[in-house]
Structure 1
Amino acid sequence: MGVPSDEVVQIRHAAAAGDPAVVTVSCPDKTGLGCDLCRVVLLFGLSVVKGDMSTDGRWCYIVLWVLPRRGRPGPVPWGLLKDRLLQLCPVAAPFGFDTADLAAAGLQDAPPPAPRLFLLKLYCFDRMGLLHDVTRVLCELEFTIRRVKVSTTPDGTVLDLFFITDARELLHTKSRREEAYDKLESVLGDSLASREIDPATEDMLTCLQACPLLTPAVMEQMFNTDLIEEQSITTRGDNAISVTTDNSLSSVHTLIQIQCGDHKGLLYDIMRTVKDCNIQISYGRFYATQNGRCDVDLFVVQSDGKKILDQQRQRSLCCRLRMELLRPLRVALVNRGPDTELLVANPVEVSGKGRPLVFYDITLALKNLQKRIFLAEIGRQVVEDREWEVYRVHFGEEHDLSAALQSKIVGGVTSMLMGWD
């Protein structure tokens, strides 16, 4: 088997402050690779200001010009970013072979096993921003938060249950757990009463899957496309989105042209949508202007290698892309008995993965708004044949929120998620 060299991923650092770094990936192609790369770039707090990608179906070449997002904590760990991008790239076939040969011989790389799941249990004394501080530590440690259950007792004691996986796959070792404990103790200080990390058991996994379902009224509020259009008009002034298809410019490809306002993870949202619609990109170009607008050209084919000629499928694809760019995540405040509940729905890709750092952004927005979190949990639910990761946050019975404050919370969380802050 061939071994990818360091040249599979190259990072050219910015020549001057404010200039973008250039990330270049050259490797064998695979389905969804562009989406996976964009997810990692988003995970590292980077914004893509320009992009070019091309593939012949066997080999792909991707160049991304990236800048650290405003407010990103600390310097970018470029070496770690390169390692994470390399892990996504398929191994090159030996000379004289291609990926089809390897597949026929049963020698292709096997998919990696599912990461081991662990339970982090924290007992803390409540304070403003506590949950965000914990979330920030877990993100810095490269832990992925799979599920969360947070509860607060009347005396101010908080029990945090985080079901997590480790990108480094070392959480079974004592040294890695001690690293996590030290980091948590350093950040939380006297607020931390006890901490414990254990492998998740079958009973815990059963609990992991349990999640209260959204009511029909709430689903109407969060997923009705007409309501989303109205909410977007009042939430953000620059919502002009144009998505068109053109079959006249290429004999073998359909051109998808997108013009829209920029937001955090825009290129990731485009790539995941195209992948989920089973569309393959042969060539793509992305450019973000200084006035906050983006232009995207994608030359694509269907999974059978042919142009998209069916007009109904063209319309469906354009509508799907427009909605995913208009509101990639759904945010709502609803009354649940005496409590007020914040709901955020994050679309899950066909691969089972979703947008990273959503819980981080939610808790940071609430910390900035000086809102304490009484209860919180993460679960998954299928809505109209699509799976969504649903984040629930309760503020407690004593929080009687005025209409103005409710609007401020929804606006603040939405702006943080979309990078409009």
Structure 2
Amino acid sequence: MGVPSDDLVLIESGKKAGDPSVITVNCPDKTGLGCDLCRIILEFGLCITRGVFWVVPRSVSATVRWASLKNRLLSVCPSCSISFYFQLPTRPTPSPVVYLLKFFCLNRKGLLHDATHVLCELELITQRVKVSTTPDGRVMDLFFITDSMELLHTKKRQDETCEHLNAVLGDSCISCELQLVGPEYECFQQGLSSLPPAVSKELFSSELSDNDIHSQALTPDLTKLKKASITMDNSLSPAHTLLQIHSVDQKCLLYDILRTLKDCNIQIAYGRFSSKTKDYREVDLFIQQTDGRKILDPAKQDTLCSRLRMEMLHPLRVIITNRGPDTELLVANPVELSGKGRPRVFYDVTLALKVLGICIFSAEIGRLSASERQWEVYRFLLDDTHEFPLANFRARNQIVDRVRRTLMGW
């Protein structure tokens, strides 16, 4: 007998303002389920404070579409109607339909983030972006998007999208069009133009020295970051390996842990995600290999711990470099083996640049293969400002600092 869908995902709102909402998921397990649930929760602009799952909005003024969140969570839950003993073959998930959102605007500070904020609020997922500025100061924005609600084929949903954009962009918006993608999308799917070897080496390096840790994490002191620990214990459970993680808190920490385990085909039977001291998180996970056995091989333990440490301490790469006469901000994050990228990266980067008052001359999202994995790469050509002269080394460091802190939630 199956479990009613209303009982698969339960959302209990906080009793008063500021209290966390509690999301409970009851469904059959699958490898990577926790990662899939985390990604959806983060896409709704929520912060996971305890598992599984205590959540609070990252912004006090944010409006969360709880009913839609529930439907999205349900969509990744394995069906409870399938027999425990006889699992039916899984059908491949159809690729989401991609639409081209094209709007022409007068350029201003924060315009790109304001548009991205609207798309996030409407649950429209940005797959690719191409933004360019004309010599007269106008901006052509091409957003290749998919609809989490799968309603963008309707005129009502299309009109809603354009109306929200016009309301937020105001007099800056000259025109707004929405249509199914054409042949031009094939060019964007082929990825970005290659990066210079020196830039690629800096951006995708897998080595993490003490200096890199300090510059990437930007915590008040290096000893705080070095307190992060990852250990495994096979003595507490007859069937599972206990993975214990103690780490500095940061945005997407649980997601980074779970996506790594998913990519390594590690199953999680039970977990606890909590905070006993300020700015730190403790994670206890009882895990198994896909064959149902513990992780007993010391070499496999070391490999998994090293991978987790790298993905936790170095989940995003942020650098500023020269691109001819221009200054380019580059942000990169590894793509899951399933092909999904990190939630809300474009949103956070454009927010950081808006706060700094820096205009974006052009922007682009694409994918590149490097260091034996695929990366989602965000490229921004920045406009020079009086407050942040881009030729100044200190100004560049301040931009990188603010972008990384926004991405990491510090």
Sort the TM-score into its range (normalised by shorter chain): over 0.9
Amino acid at match of 2:69: L
Q: 1:122 to 1:208 in 2, by over 3 A?
A: farther
1:84 aligns with 72
Q: CA deviation at 1:72?
A: 5.2
Quick one: distance in 1 between partners of 2:384 and 2:185? 28
Q: CA deviation at 1:417?
A: 0.4
Amino acid at match of 2:23: V
**In terms of mean alpha carbon deviation, does 340-349 or 232-241 score higher?**
232-241
Quick one: distance in 1 between partners of 2:55 and 2:121? 20
Pick the aligned partner of 2:55 from 61, 66, 82.
66
**In terms of mean alpha carbon deviation, does 357-366 or 222-231 score higher?**
222-231
1:21 aligns with 21
Q: 1:213 to 1:4 in 2, by over 3 A?
A: farther
Pick the aligned partner of 2:242 from 255, 270, 273.
255
Give matches, 1:118-157, under 5 Å. Answer: 118-157=99-138
Task: Give CA deviations for 1:100-144 in whole Å, capped at 9, x if unaligned.
Answer: 5242xx5x5x34311101111111110111111111111111111
Verify: 1:165 aligned to 2:146, yes or no.
yes
Q: 1:321 to 1:210 in 2, by over 3 A?
A: closer
Partner of 1:295: helix, strand, or coil? strand
Task: Give CA deviations for 1:395-417 in whole Å, capped at 9, x if unaligned.
Answer: 14786331111011000000100
Quick one: distance in 2 between partners of 1:171 and 1:16? 35
Pick the aligned partner of 1:219 from 193, 200, 222.
200
Verify: 1:294 aligned to 2:281, yes or no.
yes
Partner of 1:28: helix, strand, or coil? coil
Amino acid at match of 1:23: I
Given that residues 35 and 255 in structure 2 are in contact (C-alpha distance below 8 angstroms), is that contact kept between their aligned partners in structure 1? yes
Partner of 1:374: helix, strand, or coil? strand
Quick one: distance in 2 between partners of 1:228 and 1:141? 41
Quick one: distance in 1 between partners of 2:210 and 2:265? 26
Verify: 1:283 aligned to 2:266, yes or no.
no
Quick one: distance in 2 between partners of 1:72 and 1:149? 31
Give matches, 1:2-401, under 5 Å. Answer: 2=2, 4-51=4-51, 63-69=52-58, 71=59, 73-93=61-81, 97-98=83-84, 100-103=85-88, 106=89, 110-227=91-208, 229-234=210-215, 235-237=218-220, 238-239=224-225, 240-396=227-383, 400-401=390-391
Task: Give CA deviations for 1:139-175 in whole Å, capped at 9, x if unaligned.
Answer: 1111110000111112101111111111111212211
Amino acid at match of 1:101: F
Quick one: distance in 1 between partners of 2:171 and 2:159? 18
**What are the ranges of 5 or more consecutive residues in structure 2 without an aligned counterpart?**
none
Q: CA RMSD in A?
A: 1.8
Quick one: distance in 1 between partners of 2:101 and 2:64? 26
Quick one: distance in 2 between partners of 1:197 and 1:208? 19
Partner of 1:307: helix, strand, or coil? coil
Calculate the TM-score normalised by the size of structure 1: 0.91
Amino acid at match of 1:40: I
Quick one: distance in 1 between partners of 2:73 and 2:60? 20
Amino acid at match of 2:73: L
Pick the aligned partner of 1:414 from 378, 397, 404.
404
Amino acid at match of 2:374: E
Q: CA deviation at 1:369?
A: 0.4
Quick one: distance in 1 between partners of 2:209 and 2:128? 27
Partner of 1:187: helix, strand, or coil? helix
The alignment-based identity, stated in percent, is 54
Given that residues 13 and 22 in structure 1 are in contact (C-alpha distance below 8 angstroms), is that contact kept between their aligned partners in structure 2? yes
**What are the ranges of 5 or more consecutive residues in structure 1 without an aligned counterpart?**
52-62
Partner of 1:413: helix, strand, or coil? helix
Partner of 1:296: helix, strand, or coil? strand
Q: 1:405 to 1:72 in 2, by over 3 A?
A: farther
Partner of 2:26: helix, strand, or coil? strand
Q: CA deviation at 1:18?
A: 2.9
Amino acid at match of 1:350: L
Partner of 2:86: helix, strand, or coil? helix
Amino acid at match of 1:249: L
Quick one: distance in 2 between partners of 1:123 and 1:250? 60
Q: 1:221 to 1:228 in 2, by over 3 A?
A: farther
Task: Give CA deviations for 1:38-69 in whole Å, capped at 9, x if unaligned.
Answer: 11111112222221xxxxxxxxxxx3122222
Q: 1:347 to 1:17 in 2, by over 3 A?
A: same
Quick one: distance in 1 between partners of 2:392 and 2:200? 22
